């Protein structure tokens, strides 16, 4: 078997690896026969004994990639990251994986294959290093003749400077900056990124005028009662500390934390400096609406947003009563604004009524729902809610003084008439309450929305007929 | 007062707010502008405080003067802490200076309530406006809104901020009435409902993509988000007697009702100059940690509040994570066959996270999973094995053994991570 020498331009030469790998693959060179190295980086990645091996075979020109060499997009992403690792064997590992992906179609589903697991581990470490670079680069400001320049020193573990630079370009477009690392540097002048060689730490590190403010912030945003050094270190390992100005505060802050907390706990409550007069107690005689806003008589009131009170002219002669607010009504704090409300609007218009002349409300004032994951499903009010809430409804009836009430649906009818009424039986009829008020019973719009499509049109016509009776009685009035 | 002193006072005042995340913003950058700032969907923690919490934002109060007297709060009117107030420009400059040095992802600004809810909200919003409009700042901005500020002001704030939040603080209405008598529990929820309608409305409007720049040119970057993309809230744990079940029920309802992105749980913390009525205890950090895990189970694993905190007493087990606790209470549902079970069941196996479950589902297509495959996935085998069947493994009677719980109970330890999935 002859050796194939694959030499890359530099340690982060992903494009070079791709071109070379594609060529090797097209020539069917098996992974065992390739010696990967980086120019100027003597022997890295070469199998033992390579230099005793015969000279690489003359390499024929690279044929175009064939469709047989298509690899999953996820592999490309994986390779782009894993190839930046400082591990010398990375080029060989990724080529072996590429070779096997072409030879063994089942491999693309097998996320537990050892080669894949190894490559993913490399990629994960590179991504973490990239992430930490985004997080822990600290710029210091230097005045120059052309305005301020921001300079940072950073020590990445892997070959990530080229890969992370565009992030800093997108973030700090309006600044002139450079980031210097031991092996490579990058500079942005507002127009283009320029890469160059690395440098030494003492050529770069300087103190910044704002550092004192930053340290003040760091010191004071820390809550001494919650000292958790382990958690901190797992996210901000010590190896980064010497480049983070705030890290020198960690030890003293931690040392004082216990004592500061104990002092806090042992101090008796002091006498307040100044007191505001207590808020006036809630006055009696406020309207039922304000009183109901704080009602907690049913358990679901705790999870509803607000009591949804009725709406309309205080002198309306007709009051429409629905069942309870729904999801949209609960959020908006107004009755009949959701889908059922829109159907009601349409029907009122068809019946020749102006919504603005009517008072609209609900028998129960809080939205009662059941949770299904992240959705709130309407749950009809039970006896208990109807009963508890009827006092609010009665106060509303009394405040508005409407002589004619329209019960939309069974819950409203039960609440207004204090007995169960079958809507199908009494629909379209006026019933009298002990106080002399007339109650027209008809459907709730939500019930119409629940009917099968073929039943909706006739039901809607009946419903509009019912509502039209209101128009007649209010004209006769 | 000198800027440094103000910063000390106003950062001190902000350190009890648990929310820190800076993710979830609409992606944008400063290319083609003279400004700075970008958001790429995921936030970055730029530092960590010795309390283990991430520092990703300049988190300060505009002022810690406050008219209210909420007993759990260090800034309440009757507290004797030193007071300070930033000018709008001071906060703007600090944000820009810190941002340019890559110390932070952006700003998280809240405030004590001065004069009125609306006046305070206007001042907070003004900081965001100046950052966006006068400095073309494209980093992350989170504004804490003032409960029951007018809807117009909320709408304005949402045009400059990536996230808005209102703290619920206490999980029950009774708790609020007792400890924060001037706060209107319903007012807080009303504000959340308004925000939800505004956030949803903006999302619906932005859906049909408007014609962008001329063909071939990159879309014009915009400094301000069209409207905040999310809201969050904080619940203080342990200042009132509410149990974990009540807290989780409240969270569950709030996620569904207001589309919250996050609920933060903050173990009630000793504060300087505490109110006499609030006996101080060591903060139950472990309890906070378990609540985060339980919350995670509700959001990503299909658990309901009542299932997780279903033990009598309504408290989460402090010794074991809530998923393991649930599994130990429901042994009849196990073992689960890793090679056959649907996703929902796999997600309920202690030790299997969402990622591990995805890998199992993918790998099942080409192989029958065995014990050493679990090891390769880096899942805690000792925790998983009693609950699963694999090609080469059956738990046998291990699942029934009464010693199981004792064996899986880790030695006591300090809670380690601020916000983690139960493994
Ligand atoms: S439904 Fe009615 S009775 Fe029940 S809490 Fe709400 S307002 Fe009170």
Per-residue pLDDT of A23-42, as tens digits, reads 999 899 999 999 999 987 65
pLDDT number for residue A291: 81
- Ligand 1: atom nearest CA of A292 is 7
Residues of chain B with C-beta less than 8 angstroms from the C-beta of A278? 181
- Ligand 1: atom nearest CA of A388 is 3
| Ligand 1 center–CA A366 separation, angstroms | 6
User: B102: nearest CA in chain A?
Assistant: A138
Is the pLDDT at A456 greater than 70? The verdict is: yes
CB contact under 8 A, B103 and A254: no
Q: Would you report the helix, strand and coil content of chain A in percent, each value rounded to 5?
A: 50, 15, 40
Is the pLDDT at A64 greater than 90? The verdict is: no
CB contact under 8 A, A221 and B365: no
Q: Whole-angstrom Cα distance, residue A57 to residue B185?
A: 80
Residues of chain A with C-beta less than 8 angstroms from the C-beta of B29? 170-171, 173
Give the residue-averaged pLDDT of A140-168.
93
| pLDDT grade for A3, boundaries at 50, 70 and 90 | confident
Q: Which of A340, A335, A406, A345 is nearest to A365 (CA)?
A: A335
CB A333 within 8 A of CB A419: no
Q: Does the CB of B97 have a partner CB in chain A at under 8 Å?
A: yes
Distances (CA, A) of B338 to B324, B355, B389: 17, 14, 6
Is the pLDDT at B364 greater than 60? The verdict is: yes
Our CA dihedral for A331, A332, A333, A336, rounded to 10 degrees, sits at: -110
Between residues A348 and B215, the one the model is more confident about: A348
- Percent of chain B past pLDDT 90, that is, above it, reads 39
**CB of A301 closer than 6 A to ligand 1?**
yes
The partner residue sitting opposite A175, judged by closest CB among B36, B283, B373, is B36
Q: Closest approach of chain A CAs to the CA of B359, in angstroms?
A: 7
Residues recorded for chain B:
423
Interface probe with B: pick from A108, A171, A255, most Cβ of B within 10 Å: A171
pLDDT number for residue A269: 65
**CB of A389 closer than 6 A to ligand 1?**
yes
| Ligand 1 center–CA B9 separation, angstroms | 44
Residues of chain A with C-beta less than 8 angstroms from the C-beta of B189? 304-306
Place of tokens 């106080």: A435
pLDDT number for residue B283: 53
Q: Closest approach of chain A CAs to the CA of B421, in angstroms?
A: 15
Distances (CA, A) of A460 to A84, A448, B423: 68, 7, 54
Place of tokens 């009774």: B174
Out of A169-183, B19-33, B335-349, which region has the weakest mean confidence (pLDDT)? Answer: B19-33
**CB of A388 closer than 6 A to ligand 1?**
yes
B160-205: per-residue pLDDT in tens?
999 999 988 888 888 888 888 777 788 889 889 999 998 888 877 7
User: B357: nearest CA in chain A?
Assistant: A111
Give the residue-averaged pLDDT of A182-192.
93
Out of A195-209, A223-237, A280-294, B49-63, which region has the weakest mean confidence (pLDDT)? Answer: A280-294
Q: Whole-angstrom Cα distance, residue A104 to residue A108?
A: 8
Residue B416 sits at the vertex; the CA angle it makes with B410 and A128, to the nearest 5 degrees, is 115
Q: What is the overall mean pLDDT for chain A?
A: 86
- Percent of chain A past pLDDT 90, that is, above it, reads 57
Q: Whole-angstrom Cα distance, residue B322 to residue B292?
A: 10
Q: Which of A157, A134, A265 is nearest to B43 (CA)?
A: A134
CB contact under 8 A, A374 and B256: yes
CB contact under 8 A, B101 and A141: yes
User: B360: nearest CA in chain A?
Assistant: A111
Is the pLDDT at B208 greater than 50? The verdict is: no
Q: What is the overall mean pLDDT for chain B?
A: 84
Q: Whose CA is nearest to atom 6 of ligand 1?
A: A366
B301-319: per-residue pLDDT in tens?
989 888 898 888 889 988 8
pLDDT number for residue A278: 42
The partner residue sitting opposite A220, judged by closest CB among B8, B77, B189, is B8
pLDDT number for residue A106: 82
Helix orientation angle between A14-26 and A73-82, rounded to the nearest 10 degrees: 130
Q: Closest approach of chain B CAs to the CA of A198, in angstroms?
A: 21
Burial class (CB in 10 A: 0-12, 13-18, 19+), A73: exposed
Q: Which of B48, B47, B63 is nearest to B12 (CA)?
A: B63
Give the residue-averaged pLDDT of B269-289.
71
Q: Closest approach of chain B CAs to the CA of A368, in angstroms?
A: 11
Q: Does the CB of B406 have a partner CB in chain A at under 8 Å?
A: no
Ligand 1: which of A288, A290, A292, A333 to mutate, most ligand atoms within 8 Å of CB? A292
pLDDT number for residue B7: 94
Give the residue-averaged pLDDT of B219-228.
62
pLDDT number for residue A283: 37
Q: Is the dihedral of CA A204, A210, A216, A218 positive or negative?
A: negative
pLDDT number for residue A2: 73
Q: Whole-angstrom Cα distance, residue B377 to residue A13?
A: 30
Give the residue-averaged pLDDT of B329-351.
92
Number of DSSP helices (H) and strands (E) in chain B, helices first: 16, 10
Is the pLDDT at B421 greater than 60? The verdict is: no
Give the residue-averaged pLDDT of A151-158.
95
Q: Does the CB of B48 have a partner CB in chain A at under 8 Å?
A: yes
User: B373: nearest CA in chain A?
Assistant: A112
The partner residue sitting opposite B77, judged by closest CB among A150, A276, A371, is A276
Q: Whole-angstrom Cα distance, residue A178 to residue A197?
A: 12
Taking one residue from A and the other from B, the number of pairs with CB-CB distance under 8 angstroms is 256
Is the pLDDT at B355 greater than 60? The verdict is: yes
A261-276: per-residue pLDDT in tens?
777 777 766 665 544 4
pLDDT number for residue A437: 94
Number of DSSP helices (H) and strands (E) in chain A, helices first: 16, 14
Give the residue-averaged pLDDT of B107-114.
93
User: A278: nearest CA in chain B?
Assistant: B182
Is the pLDDT at B121 greater than 60? The verdict is: yes
Is the pLDDT at A1 greater than 60? The verdict is: no
Q: Closest approach of chain B CAs to the CA of A177, in angstroms?
A: 10
| pLDDT grade for A54, boundaries at 50, 70 and 90 | very low
Q: Whole-angstrom Cα distance, residue A408 to residue A446?
A: 10
Is the pLDDT at B418 greater than 70? The verdict is: no
| pLDDT grade for B410, boundaries at 50, 70 and 90 | low
Q: Closest approach of chain A CAs to the CA of B136, in angstroms?
A: 10
Q: Whose CA is nearest to atom 3 of ligand 1?
A: A389
Tokens of A375: 């959705």
With a CB cutoff of 8 Å and minimum separation 6, the contacts of B403 are: none
| Ligand 1 center–CA A301 separation, angstroms | 6
A92-122: per-residue pLDDT in tens?
999 999 999 988 888 888 878 889 999 999 9
Residues recorded for chain A:
477
With a CB cutoff of 8 Å and minimum separation 6, the contacts of A35 are: A3, A4, A5, A6, A45, A46, A47, A50, A53, A56
Give the residue-averaged pLDDT of B333-361.
93
Tokens of A76: 């490309």
Is the pLDDT at B218 greater than 90? The verdict is: no
pLDDT number for residue A44: 42
Out of B30-34, B347-351, B385-389, B413-417, which region has the weakest mean confidence (pLDDT)? Answer: B413-417
CB A56 within 8 A of CB A103: no
pLDDT number for residue A475: 60
Residue A277 sits at the vertex; the CA angle it makes with A274 and A282, to the nearest 5 degrees, is 155
pLDDT number for residue B67: 84
- Ligand 1: atom nearest CA of A304 is 6
Q: What is the ipTM of this complex?
A: 0.84
Q: Which of B270, B160, B208 is nearest to A223 (CA)?
A: B270
Q: Where are the beta strands (DSSP E) in A210-347?
A: 318-322
A368-383: per-residue pLDDT in tens?
999 888 889 999 999 9
Place of tokens 């010696």: A35
Tokens of A255: 């040392």
Interface probe with B: pick from A147, A228, A249, most Cβ of B within 10 Å: A228
| pLDDT grade for B276, boundaries at 50, 70 and 90 | low
| Ligand 1 center–CA A309 separation, angstroms | 11
B8-63: per-residue pLDDT in tens?
999 988 888 877 777 777 888 888 888 889 988 788 899 998 888 889 999 999 99
User: B377: nearest CA in chain A?
Assistant: A112
Between residues A274 and B394, the one the model is more confident about: B394
Q: Closest approach of chain A CAs to the CA of B331, in angstroms?
A: 24
Ligand 1: which of A292, A294, A297 to mutate, most ligand atoms within 8 Å of CB? A297
Q: Does the CB of B49 have a partner CB in chain A at under 8 Å?
A: yes
pLDDT number for residue A281: 38
């Amino acid at each position: 078997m002859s050796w194939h020498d694959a030499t890359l331009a530099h340690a982060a030469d992903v494009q070079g690896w791709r071109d070379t790998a594609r060529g090797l693959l097209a020539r069917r060179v098996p992974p065992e026969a390739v010696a990967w190295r980086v120019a100027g980086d003597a022997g890295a990645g070469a199998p033992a004994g390579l230099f005793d091996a015969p000279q690489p075979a003359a390499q024929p020109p690279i044929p175009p990639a064939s469709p047989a060499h298509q690899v999953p997009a996820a592999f490309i992403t994986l390779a782009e990251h894993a190839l930046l690792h400082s591990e010398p064997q990375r080029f060989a590992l990724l080529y072996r994986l590429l070779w096997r992906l072409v030879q063994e179609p089942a491999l693309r589903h097998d996320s537990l294959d050892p080669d894949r697991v190894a490559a993913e581990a490399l990629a994960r470490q590179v991504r973490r290093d990239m992430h930490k670079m985004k997080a822990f680069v600290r710029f210091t400001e230097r005045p120059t003749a052309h305005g301020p320049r921001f300079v940072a020193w950073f020590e990445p573990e892997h070959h990530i400077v080229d890969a992370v630079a565009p992030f800093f370009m997108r973030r700090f477009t309006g600044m002139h900056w450079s980031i210097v690392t031991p092996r490579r540097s990058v500079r942005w002048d507002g127009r283009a990124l320029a890469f160059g060689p690395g440098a030494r730490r003492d050529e770069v590190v300087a103190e910044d005028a704002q550092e004192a403010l930053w340290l003040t912030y760091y010191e004071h945003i820390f809550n001494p009662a919650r000292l958790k050094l382990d958690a901190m270190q797992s996210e901000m390992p010590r190896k980064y500390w010497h480049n983070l100005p705030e890290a020198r505060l960690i030890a003293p802050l931690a040392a004082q934390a216990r004592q500061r907390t104990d002092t806090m706990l042992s101090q008796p409550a002091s006498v307040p400096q100044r007191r505001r007069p207590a808020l006036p107690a809630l006055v009696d005689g406020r309207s039922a609406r304000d009183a109901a806003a704080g009602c907690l008589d049913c358990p679901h009131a705790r999870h509803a947003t607000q009591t949804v009170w009725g709406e309309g002219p205080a002198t309306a002669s007709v009051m429409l009563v629905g069942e309870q607010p729904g999801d949209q009504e609960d959020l908006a704090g107004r009755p009949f604004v959701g889908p059922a409300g829109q159907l009601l609007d349409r029907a009122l218009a068809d019946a020749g009524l102006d919504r603005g002349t009517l008072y609209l409300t609900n028998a129960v004032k809080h939205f009662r729902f059941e949770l299904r994951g992240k959705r709130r499903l309407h749950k009809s009010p039970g006896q208990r809610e109807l009963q508890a809430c009827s006092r609010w409804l009665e106060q509303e009836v009394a405040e508005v003084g409407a002589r004619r009430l329209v019960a939309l649906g069974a819950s409203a009818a039960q609440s207004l008439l204090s007995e169960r009424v079958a809507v199908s039986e009494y629909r379209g009829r006026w019933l009298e309450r002990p106080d002399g008020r007339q109650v027209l019973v008809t459907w709730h719009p939500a019930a119409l929305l629940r009917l099968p499509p073929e039943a909706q049109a006739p039901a809607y016509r009946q419903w509009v007929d019912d509502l039209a009776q209101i128009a007649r009685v209010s004209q006769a009035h | 007062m000198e800027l440094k002193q103000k910063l000390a006072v106003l950062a001190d005042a902000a350190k009890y707010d648990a929310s820190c995340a800076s993710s979830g913003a609409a992606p944008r950058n400063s290319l083609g502008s003279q400004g700075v700032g970008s958001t790429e969907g995921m936030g970055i923690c730029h530092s960590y405080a010795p309390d283990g919490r991430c520092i990703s934002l300049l988190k300060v109060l505009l002022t810690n003067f406050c008219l209210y007297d909420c007993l759990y709060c260090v800034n309440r009117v009757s507290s004797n802490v030193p007071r300070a107030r930033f000018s709008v420009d001071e906060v703007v400059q600090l944000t820009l200076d810190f941002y340019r040095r890559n110390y932070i992802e952006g700003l998280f600004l809240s405030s004590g309530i001065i004069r009125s809810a609306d006046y305070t909200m206007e001042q907070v919003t003004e900081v965001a406006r100046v950052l966006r409009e006068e400095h073309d700042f494209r980093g992350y901005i989170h504004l804490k809104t003032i409960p029951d500020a007018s809807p117009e002001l909320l709408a304005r704030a949402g045009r400059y901020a990536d996230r808005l939040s209102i703290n619920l603080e206490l999980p029950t209405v009774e708790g609020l009435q007792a400890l924060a008598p001037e706060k209107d529990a319903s007012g807080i929820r009303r504000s959340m409902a308004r925000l939800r309608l505004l956030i949803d409305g903006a999302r619906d409007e932005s859906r049909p993509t408007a014609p962008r720049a001329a063909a071939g040119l990159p879309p014009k970057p915009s400094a301000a988000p069209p409207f905040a993309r999310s809201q969050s809230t904080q619940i203080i744990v342990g200042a009132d007697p509410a149990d974990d079940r009540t807290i989780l029920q409240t969270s569950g309802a709030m996620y569904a009702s207001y589309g919250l992105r996050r609920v933060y749980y903050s173990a009630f913390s000793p504060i300087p100059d505490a109110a006499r009525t609030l006996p101080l205890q060591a903060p139950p950090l472990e309890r906070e940690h378990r609540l985060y895990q339980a919350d995670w189970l509700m959001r990503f694993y299909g658990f309901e509040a009542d299932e997780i905190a279903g033990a009598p007493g309504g408290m989460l087990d402090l010794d074991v994570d809530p998923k393991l606790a649930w599994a130990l209470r429901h042994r009849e549902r196990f073992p689960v066959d890793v090679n056959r079970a649907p996703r929902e069941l796999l997600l309920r196996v202690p030790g299997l996270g969402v990622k591990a479950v995805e890998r199992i589902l993918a790998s099942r297509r080409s192989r029958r999973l065995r014990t050493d495959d679990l090891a390769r996935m880096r899942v805690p085998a000792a925790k998983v094995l009693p609950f699963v069947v694999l090609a080469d493994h059956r738990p046998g009677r291990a699942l029934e053994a009464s010693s199981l719980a004792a064996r899986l109970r880790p030695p006591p330890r300090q809670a380690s991570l601020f916000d983690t999935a139960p493994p």
